[in-house]
Amino acid sequence: MKQELSKIAQALVAPGKGILAADESSGTIKKRFDSIGVTSTEDTRRDYREMLFRASEGMKNCVSGVILYDETIRQKAKDGTPLVDIMKAAGSIPGIKVDEGAKPLAGPHSEIEKVTEGLDGLRERLAEYHKLGARFAKWRAVITITDSLPSWNCIKANAHALARYAALCQEAGIVPIVEPEVLMDGAHSSHTIERCYEVTEWTQRTVFRELYDARVELEGMVLKPNMVIAGQKCPQQASAQQVAELTVKCLKSTVPSAVPGIAFLSGGQSDEQATENLSLINQIGDLPWRVTFSYGRALQAAALKAWGGKSENVAAGQRAFTHRARMNSLAALGKWSQQLEKAA
């Protein structure tokens, strides 16, 4: 089992490959579809995701795994082929979002702080997802920064839940993606990059301590963190080089080298910013883990727009997706450049 988990984790972070996060919950995908004027139905969600999974060039060369939502892992393409089979044929490992969302954390800051729910019944759900083909899972915890928050209670509760989730995944033969996201966007996002560093370091240290207590095998997991970056509303935005340097410094001081890979979330960065930052991080070099992407918005935004809900735009949507996937694949090798971005 241990070996199997480590093989899957290694495959997820294979050189030049990263993860497509297509696990938007029904509420989130509705918001994305609203932005292009498309009604979110079971069929439109299927059409959109089928378009991405059938973008064979981008999928085959740049994507190691796809994170799915419960509906999608059970869904069939228009021609009746299970969507899971389509991504497997493209060489991708199916993954599944298993958390049940971030809910207000009871206590004095419940209007701001959240704790991720979904542990009850998780053992049984993981067994079913394994049967449906999932070999890795994801659980996202969110941490909000204000002048006085996060509280220790919020960090501790989220880290503890992440560790219990990760241990359950490994028991089921599923690689856990451990995702503690220190938010860079939303109502509370005026913090500096230095403050993000401080909170990210605190969060990751706590997460690895909890993972140790739960006896999670570090060789059989992937960390999905935020980059160390200023909040979207902060007037002093850091340079890409500064983001790369502080992110590497923070990861080096908190993430054991037994972890095979780190796959960042994009968190609200623009497509190109997320690519450039990842490339600069890899250019620093001499990192003990593979460092790649597990982007949702930064991989999909261009494709979503090009598609616009119209079947005649499927090829254009696939071209846009493949381009972003290629750029991020180069970034995972530290080889992206502005010229390549424009040349394509």
* Residues with a known catalytic role: 179, 224
Contacting positions for ligand 13P (CB under 6 A): 21, 140, 179, 265-267, 295-298
Indicate if the alpha-carbon torsion angle 76, 132, 62, 306 is positive or negative: positive
Chain mean position to CA 309: 24
Of 60, 1, 19, 25, residue with least CA distance to 177: 19
Query: What's the rounded Cα separation, in Å, for the pair 102 and 266?
Result: 18
Closest approach, Cβ 305 to ligand 13P, in A, equals 15
Query: What's the rounded Cα separation, in Å, for the pair 13 and 5?
Result: 13
Q: What 3-state DSSP class applies to 174?
A: coil
Query: What's the rounded Cα separation, in Å, for the pair 320 and 341?
Result: 12
Closest approach, Cβ 152 to ligand 13P, in A, equals 23
Token pair belonging to 299: 């991989």
Query: What's the rounded Cα separation, in Å, for the pair 185 and 232?
Result: 5
Output 152 or 185, the one with its CB closest to ligand 13P. 185
Output 170 or 269, the one with its CB closest to ligand 13P. 269
Output 98 or 330, the one with its CB closest to ligand 13P. 98
Query: What's the rounded Cα separation, in Å, for the pair 276 and 337?
Result: 8
Q: Cβ(66)–Cβ(12) under 8 Å?
A: no
DSSP 37: T
Closest approach, Cβ 84 to ligand 13P, in A, equals 18
Closest approach, Cβ 95 to ligand 13P, in A, equals 10
Query: What's the rounded Cα separation, in Å, for the pair 51 and 72?
Result: 13
Q: Cβ(222)–Cβ(239) under 8 Å?
A: no
Residue nearest to ligand 13P (CB): 296
Closest approach, Cβ 1 to ligand 13P, in A, equals 26
Closest approach, Cβ 116 to ligand 13P, in A, equals 10
Indicate if the alpha-carbon torsion angle 36, 37, 43, 45 is positive or negative: positive
**To which residue do tokens 């994305």 refer?**
32
Output 117 or 124, the one with its CB closest to ligand 13P. 117
DSSP characters for 274-323?
HHHHHHHHHHH---SSEEEEEESHHHHHHHHHHHTT-GGGHHHHHHHHHH
Output 84 or 265, the one with its CB closest to ligand 13P. 265
Token pair belonging to 298: 């930064």
Query: What's the rounded Cα separation, in Å, for the pair 266 and 297?
Result: 7
Strand partners, 139: 178
Closest approach, Cβ 42 to ligand 13P, in A, equals 21
